[in-house]
């Protein structure tokens, strides 16, 4: 969105206070939470969905892909939509659409219908992430704006963690449609809260034309790239003409998109905000950091359930610890903004997360509960300083009139980096496991003797061979995931270095309100 299309604020409304502030903040935070939650809640439910709809699990993964593509595409359009229809008005339209299509997903009885409604659910939900961020910053008094940012960051980081846990528990104990139906009461609370309390924060509408060419190129490039990421693993990546074709389409359409958006007078995505060095490097840091963080969020539950023998519920009791310090220290992270060089607290938070990644790399296949839990507990210490600080640094680096567009673009890149991190991590885990397996097999001592002892214990030859194979597979998979934890730590270090390429902001501005 160009600066001429950004929302022009009428007389600035007074921030909320007391109970109204708390209630409005909860409504906005829940909206952001439920949209981000839906990016991961279906991940562990794919086998249940595939069985219920009589399709293969591979076909069932399109339930995840369709939402991710639609969500990623709609996020950068937030600035234009907010300008065209009003910020609060479009928030209410989006949350209503998200609720409607959540219901229709739950009642779908064919895969085609479910995919269609997931696409519409993603298109509706995407704008809620940046809109909830900007509105949270507007309803808080200027001196407490960091608290609003902390609330938003907290829901953004905890939702993808809880998604697979909640999806697994619901699918195991109820039925898969309930992963969509649980959105409905949350949507009702959000719509009522925002509609009844935030009317005074509406923005003036600007009749800006839609950049049709830019929108088509955006849909084409993001869609092809996301589908490539989600289907690459099953098609053996670039050994497949399908994946090569998607890569070519994504690359050409992306280059055309960038050229068009930089030359169009009224672009659908205002890429010109990257001319601000602080925004560029803050976005690079948060993309790298979130990619590494999200890769760990995805890999840890997979390893616990597929290798360590944990159930979805047991896994939840491990990874849920991430949210403890993330919640407790979010106000501290927000309060430190503006008091010392923000780059110090950001890089400290990222470096702490890199250190915790090395702690994870000390796990073994028979690790006990608290050895698993402690890195999750401790990682929460760094998360608020990372997410809250980088968001503040990025928004402080662009003019106020461009901050809605900047927030949407940053949310888009964060979402996309999470998808890239997941695709790279899952593929690299397979490759690293295969490499570790080959090394373990080559160095095994007296495998025949182990099989003989197992036979003496009462196993058949086939059972003994399977037991030895399982031991090797468990160890190889564990070594593979530990290597990726170390790789994630290295990515965090690069992100920490990128922060220092951004200039120190002369003044901290954390949203379009102030």
Give me the average pLDDT of each 10-residue run along the chain (514 residues). 40 75 88 86 75 73 76 80 86 94 92 90 89 84 76 77 79 86 93 87 76 87 82 80 93 94 82 90 93 84 81 76 80 80 92 94 87 90 87 84 79 80 81 81 64 67 70 84 93 95 76 42
Supply 94's token pair: 């989006």
User: Distance between CA 359 and CA 374 in Å, rounded?
Assistant: 9
Specify whether 254 is located in the same domain as 397: no
Q: Based on the domain organization, do 332 and 457 belong to the same domain? A: yes
Same domain, yes or no, for 162 and 245?
A: no
Would you say residue 43 lies in a domain? yes
| 268 domain residue, yes or no | no
* Cα 157-46-298 angle, rounded to 5 deg: 30
Question: Is the same domain home to 91 and 226?
Answer: no
Q: Indicate if 187 and 98 belong to the same structural domain.
A: yes
| Structural domain includes residue 279 | yes
Domain assignment present for 36: yes
Look at residue 3 in the predicted model and tell me its pLDDT: 37
> What angle do the packed helices 461-499 and 277-306 form, to 10 degrees?
160
The reported pLDDT for the residue numbered 181 is: 94
363 Ramachandran zone, left/alpha/beta (phi>0; psi -120 to 50): beta
d(CA 438, CA 444) in angstroms, rounded, equals: 10
Give the domain range for residue 74: 1-209
Alpha carbons 428 and 499: distance in angstroms, whole number:
27
Q: State whether 334 and 449 are in the same domain.
A: yes
206: left (phi over 0), alpha (psi -120 to 50) or beta: beta
- Could you tell me if residue 415 is inside a domain? yes
**What gap in Å lies between CA 149 and CA 333, rounded to an integer?**
10
Residue 85 resides in a domain = yes
Are 94 and 231 members of one domain? no
Q: Which of 209, 226, 251 is the last residue of a domain?
A: 209
- Are 42 and 78 within one domain? yes
Looking at the structure, tell me whether residues 232 and 292 fall in a common domain.
no
Q: What's the pLDDT score for residue 1?
A: 39
Contacting residues for 259 by C-beta, under 8 A, at least 6 apart: none
User: What is the CATH classification number for the domain harbouring 54?
Assistant: 1.20.1250.20
Q: Does one domain contain both 78 and 90?
A: yes
Q: Say yes or no: 79 and 182 in one domain.
A: yes
- Terminal CA-CA length for the chain: 20
Task: Please check whether residue 258 lies inside any domain of the structure.
Answer: yes
Asked if residue 278 belongs to a domain, the reply is yes
- Model pLDDT, residue 297: 79
Domain count, the chain: 3
Q: Are residues 342 and 193 in the same domain?
A: no
Domain boundary among 175, 192, 209: 209
Q: Which runs of E-coded beta strand occur in 107-168? A: none
Q: Which of 244, 263, 282 is the last residue of a domain?
A: 263
3 state SS of 363: coil
């Amino acid at each position: 969105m160009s600066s001429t299309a950004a929302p022009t604020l009428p007389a600035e409304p007074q921030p909320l206070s007391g109970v109204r502030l708390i209630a409005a903040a909860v409504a906005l935070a829940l909206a952001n939470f439920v949209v981000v939650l839906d990016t991961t809640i279906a991940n562990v439910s794919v086998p249940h969905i595939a069985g219920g709809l009589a399709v293969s699990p591979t076909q069932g993964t399109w339930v995840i892909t369709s939402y991710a593509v639609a969500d990623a595409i709609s996020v950068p359009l937030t600035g234009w939509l907010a300008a065209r229809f009003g910020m609060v008005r479009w928030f209410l339209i989006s949350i209503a659409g998200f609720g409607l299509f959540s219901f229709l997903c739950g009642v779908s009885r064919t895969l085609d219908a479910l995919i269609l409604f997931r696409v519409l659910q993603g298109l509706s939900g995407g704008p809620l992430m940046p809109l909830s961020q900007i509105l949270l910053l507007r309803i808080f008094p200027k001196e407490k704006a960091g608290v609003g940012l902390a609330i938003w960051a907290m829901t953004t980081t905890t939702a993808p963690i809880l998604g697979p846990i909640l999806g697994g528990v619901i699918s195991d104990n109820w039925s898969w449609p309930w992963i969509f139906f649980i959105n409905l009461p949350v949507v009702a609370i959000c719509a009522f809260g925002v509609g009844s309390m935030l009317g005074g924060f509406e923005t003036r509408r600007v009749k800006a034309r839609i950049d049709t060419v830019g929108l088509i190129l955006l849909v084409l490039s993001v869609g092809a790239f996301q589908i490539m990421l989600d289907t690459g693993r099953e098609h053996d990546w670039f050994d497949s003409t399908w994946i090569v074709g998607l890569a070519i389409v994504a690359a050409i359409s992306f280059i055309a998109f960038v050229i068009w958006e930089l030359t169009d007078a009224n672009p659908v995505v205002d890429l010109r905000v990257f001319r601000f060095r602080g925004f560029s490097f803050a976005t690079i840091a948060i993309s790298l950091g979130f990619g590494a963080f999200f890769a760990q969020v995805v890999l840890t539950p997979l390893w616990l359930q597929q290798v360590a023998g944990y159930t979805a519920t047991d896994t939840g009791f491990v990874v849920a610890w991430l949210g403890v310090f993330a919640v407790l220290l979010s106000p501290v992270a927000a309060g430190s903004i503006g008091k010392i060089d923000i780059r110090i607290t950001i890089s400290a938070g990222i470096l702490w997360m890199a250190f915790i990644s090395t702690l994870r790399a000390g796990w073994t296949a028979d690790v006990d509960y608290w050895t698993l839990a402690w890195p999750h507990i401790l990682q929460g210490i760094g998360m608020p300083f990372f997410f809250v600080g980088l968001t503040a640094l990025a928004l402080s680096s662009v003019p106020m009139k461009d901050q809605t567009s900047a927030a949407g673009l940053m949310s888009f890149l964060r979402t996309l980096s999470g998808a890239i991190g997941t695709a790279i991590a899952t593929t690299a885990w397979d490759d690293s496991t295969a490499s570790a397996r080959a090394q373990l097999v080559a160095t095994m001592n007296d495998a025949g003797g182990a099989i003989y002892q197992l036979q003496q214990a009462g196993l058949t030859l086939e059972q003994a061979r399977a037991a030895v194979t399982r031991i090797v597979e468990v160890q190889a998979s564990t070594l593979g995931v530990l290597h990726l934890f170390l790789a994630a730590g290295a990515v965090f270090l690069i992100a920490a270095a990128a922060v220092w390429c951004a200039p120190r902001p002369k003044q901290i501005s954390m949203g379009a309100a102030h």
